[in-house]
A and B are shown apart, each in its own frame.
Chain A
Amino acid sequence: MPVVELSYSRLQKLVGRASKKQISESLPFLGLDIESEEKDLVRVEYSPNRPDYSTDFGISLGLQGLLGIKTGSYKLKIKKSNDYKISVNPSVSKIRPFVTGIIARNGKIDDKIIKQLMAMQEDLHFGIGRKRKKSSIGIHDLDKISFPLTYTTSNRNFKFVPLNSEKESTISEILQNTEVGQDYGSILGNSSKVPIILDSNGQTVSFPPIINAAITTVTTKTKNLFVEVTGINKDDAEDMLSVVATILQTAGFDLVSINIKGTKNTTPKLAERKIIVNPSLINESLGLDLKNSEIITSLKKSRLDATITKKGIICNIPAYRFDIFGPMDLVEEVALGYGIEKLTPLLSPSQTLGHVNPKSSKLKSTSLTLVGLGYLEALNSSLTSKKILYEMTNRKPENIISVLDSKSQEHTILRDSILPGLLENLSRNIHSQYPQKLFEVGTVFSKNNPVDEKIHLAVVCAHQDVHFTEVKSILQALMKTSFDLQVDTKTFSHETFEEGKTASIISEGKNIGVIGEINSKTIEGYKIRVPVVGFEINLSGLIFD
């Protein structure tokens, strides 16, 4: 989950009439987990479905609602204007077909605001932008640009001075030499043309979704902003724009519209949507008995306007709340506005009778039998390494199931056997008192359209005088006590076991496992100083399906 750093004093200024304590206690009830706090600073984790919470401006809107300072929907006031136009050239349609944008004027920008805007941009790019693939934003100093603009394409030899640079580079150079170019260049594929925004003087404004031009850089001296969003889907681009527009208006800017024309592109409306919700759905889902007026009050505290009609409660959803899909999302908004802390838990009698799965019971009985025989249960990960599974036990790898790009070298393949892990456990305990008797019951994996999962049981016993007979006695007692089964052992060869002291385990005519003394190569490899015996059996097919 993403994290945002907030300052209590800034939040107090933005929220108005709220103490630090009130704010601190309310944050969790907006779904914001406090990660750490230090004096005036607080770091909170927010949900990826609420990009408006990536800035303190967005969070203060939520806090105002919850604390009852300002409730109801936060409305965008966009002034219509003919001063700003973007025309779209059809050449973009196959690469990045949509552009949208807005003008934000007469604001004040300081370092803290720049930091907030950058955090918001990063969050939008990562989350709903799907790492800039679906949509991406550029924020520019309006006064460095002369309208109208053109959203068009250029070839890769096209040159301009990109952000954080003083000299001109070609598109190809930017893609090769800059970090953003390397990270996001793949979005553009191999097309010879790339999207570009040019102003009326032919000056480059932006090369989306990679980088802005240096000339439009926003500084603390900037007063007026131009925001553009480009993408492969019009609705997603406008969703993204709605968050930026809302945050900028909260930050004190006046919004002015941009006329956008060209292939499938239109001027964004950023209008409210309406969703109807039935009050009974709300009460049945939450286990409450709220009056319609209480529902309306709760929705208002969640910064949503709602009215009662014959059809149900009609709720107006501002554009930036695109996380709201339908009525169930409004149920949550009611719960939040009502106050989660006011929802008291209820315990109604269960209408069903619970039962333990027979598989669990059988596994438990098997484990308890082994405990009765003096064995201690070990637990190893199903995801292990070639070293433990094959190299140390001299087994030949066959049809390994690997996972892709594991972050841990010790966890790269799924185990096909339990015993190797137990031998590794013994090697880690050579300084503990002997005898050491361990068992493990767990899942093993094999490839079979697509994967077979079986439950195996393995046992190891290590001490100075241990020999084959001791562990065969354990096997016999286990099979008899747990499953009332006889077992036979037939001479066998296995890479992990000593030749001549190894047998396959046969029960009711089926080969179910292997038993024997672990060979000296394995034991020495693990620097275990006492002999080890053990067995492994397949319980699937024996006591399970």
Chain B
Amino acid sequence: MSQVFHEIEKKIISVLKTDSKLNPEKLEELTQLSPDQIRRGIEWLKLKNLAIVNEIQSVHYSLGNNGLESYQKGLPERRLLDLVRNGPVKISEIQQQLGSVFGPAMGLAKKNNWIETQGNEISLKNYPSVIPGEKTLKQIGEEKYSESQIDQNDLKILLQRPDFLVENIVKIKEISLSDNAKSLDITSSAQGAIDVEAKAPEVFVARTHPLRDTIDEIREIFVTLGFSEIYGNMTQPSFWNFDALFTPQDHPARELQDTFYLDGVSSKIIGTKEQIRNVSNSHKKGWRYYWDINEARKMVLRTHTTCVTIKHLAENKPEEARVFSLGPVFRNEKVSYKHLVEFNQIEGVVVGTNANLRNLMGIQREFYRRIGITKIKFWPTFFPYTEPSLQTMVYNERLGKWVELFGMGIFRPEVTKPLGINKPVLAWGGGIERIAMLKYGLDDVREFYNNNLTWLRGATKCR
């Protein structure tokens, strides 16, 4: 593989070929590159195993307040000795001259036997040419030293004196070339070429949720098949979710184990007087029981979106219509790989010309064809509010078996008549997650709601 280098890399390598160890600042100076360019260049070379970065820690000393005073005027003990060098001087005068450093100066001078006290005067005994610490203080003060030149004993003495020295820990990066790099010929590669074969860092796309994409796709298909979208609440009186759909009040499906009832919430207004009276009569006649309006007032989380379409039909009584409702529905079930408490459903109706079962099957077949499913068949089934009722079976190639998708049928007259709907109504609908699972090849429906970034960032958009 021929290696291609960026201009920055080339400059750094050529400088390091001459000067084997350099810090980034020095590199900047020699290459005339910006600090950021140097940082990136070093990072690239490091990844390619061409540069070695050594981090070295070193201690740098500077003068503290007392250190600076001593550097300028001399160490306190030196100043004391200088005062008495030409004969005895009164203590009070020395005190006045030295001020706050008088104490430490006297202590050291006495301890080292450089002076003696006679009455109220001090006189010199010995005059040392070098005082411990003096040389190092000078070196540090002049800022001209390298670590090796410093006398460690001298340094120790200075460090013990209060506010003489300040320690600064400095981290230095030392860049050198690896053995591979030393033998590189960087002049041979083309001018301005970059390493197009190198891996680029990973970035992640911002996107709409994969399930939302499926929902949008399905919405679009039905719109192009002549359907219009209607909205309705997720919380509904039992009246529209069950009673209006001819589901008797003592039906097992209405019980707590399947339906989420809202705790202590019921609706005062559930429909017109006529709607309530007619639905009530339809139940009494068809199911032979006492129909209780309070049961119909109880608010539930809708168990299907059919409550939205039937209410729309009852309010508008269209002669000709294709409408659908799409959104979350709820079932009080244990969450598992195939069951969620909340999932999305699309449910639509056809009223008017050609509202017959074969046309309903045709709309379904066309929908599946557009989402890429061609192997389908229809089986009879049962829904409490449609008659006849069918379900679409779709062949899942991955699982090698037929799976059930959308259900469909013609609304029972027991549903439509009491609501004043006199035209036959075809209804169809089903869960969207099931289709999305086929689309994304998922076996666990919970994945859609886990919000796992690894999956969300990775799921393929076009399928």
A binding-site residues for B, Cβ under 8 Å: 1, 28-31, 33, 47-50, 126-127, 130-131, 133-134, 233, 235-236, 284-288, 325-326, 328-329, 331-332, 335-336, 340-341, 343-348, 350-357, 359-360, 364, 367-368, 370-383, 401-408, 410-411, 414, 425, 428-429, 432-433, 436-438, 443, 445, 447, 449-451, 453
Contacts and interface: CB of A to CB of B under 8 A. Distances in A.
B388 A332 contact: yes
A328 B378 contact: no
A406 B332 contact: yes
B379 A332 contact: no
Interface in B273-315: 286, 288-289, 299, 301
Interface stretch (B65-73, B139-147, B190-198, B255-263): B255-263
Contacts of A367: 208, 212
Contact of A453 (B233, B321, B377, B380): B233
B252 A126 contact: yes
B357 A285 contact: yes
Interface in B224-281: 224-231, 233-235, 250, 252, 256-257, 260-263, 265-268
Interface in B332-361: 332-335, 340-342, 352-354, 356-359, 361
A289 to B, nearest CB: 11
Interface of B: 202, 204, 206-209, 211-212, 216, 219-220, 222-231, 233-235, 250, 252, 256-257, 260-263, 265-268, 286, 288-289, 299, 301, 320-322, 328, 330, 332-335, 340-342, 352-354, 356-359, 361-366, 377-382, 384, 387-390, 393, 404, 410, 412-414, 424, 448-454, 456-457
Contact of B357 (A286, A404, A414): A286
A134 to B, nearest CB: 7
Contacts of A445: 234-235
A28 B393 CA distance: 11
A252 B451 CA distance: 60
B359 A357 contact: no
A340 B378 contact: yes
Contact of A354 (B222, B299, B448): B222
Contacts of B354: 287, 346, 348, 351
Contacts of A379: 209, 211-212, 448-449, 451
Contacts of A429: 451-453
Contacts of B234: 382, 443, 445, 453
Contacts of A403: 260-263, 301, 332
A383 B340 CA distance: 11
Contact of B341 (A326, A375, A381, A450): A381
Given A28-B379, A352-B321, A453-B235, A328 B412 contact: yes
B262 A401 contact: yes
A133 to B, nearest CB: 7
Given A383-B330, A404-B261, A453-B234, 11 more contacts: A328-B412, A331-B388, A341-B377, A352-B321, A376-B206, A379-B211, A383-B260, A403-B262, A407-B257, A414-B262, A437-B206
Contact of B228 (A336, A354, A383): A354
A102 B289 CA distance: 25
B229 to A, nearest CB: 4
Nearest to B448: A379
A376 B380 contact: no
Contacts of B225: 350, 354
Contacts of A406: 260, 332, 341
Contacts of A126: 252
B379 A376 contact: no
A376 B456 contact: yes
19 contacts: A28-B380, A31-B382, A48-B382, A285-B357, A328-B388, A343-B378, A346-B359, A350-B227, A352-B322, A353-B226, A356-B223, A370-B206, A376-B457, A403-B332, A406-B332, A407-B332, A410-B335, A432-B457, A450-B267
A183 to B, nearest CB: 14
A236 B211 CA distance: 46
Q: Which 8 A-B pairs have the closest CB atoms?
A: A350-B226, A47-B382, A287-B358, A287-B356, A332-B388, A345-B361, A347-B362, A357-B229
Contacts of B424: 284-285
B358 A286 contact: yes
Contacts of B341: 381, 383, 406-408, 411
Nearest to A333: B388
Contacts of A30: 380
A428 B447 CA distance: 13
A351 B226 CA distance: 7
A133 B212 contact: no
B263 A377 contact: no
Given A355-B228, A360-B219, A378 B209 contact: yes
Nearest to A442: B328
Nearest to A336: B380
Nearest to B333: A407
Nearest to A331: B388
Contacts of B457: 376, 432
Nearest to B380: A31
Given A357-B230, A425-B451, A405 B359 contact: no
Contact of A33 (B267, B379, B448): B379
A406 B354 CA distance: 43
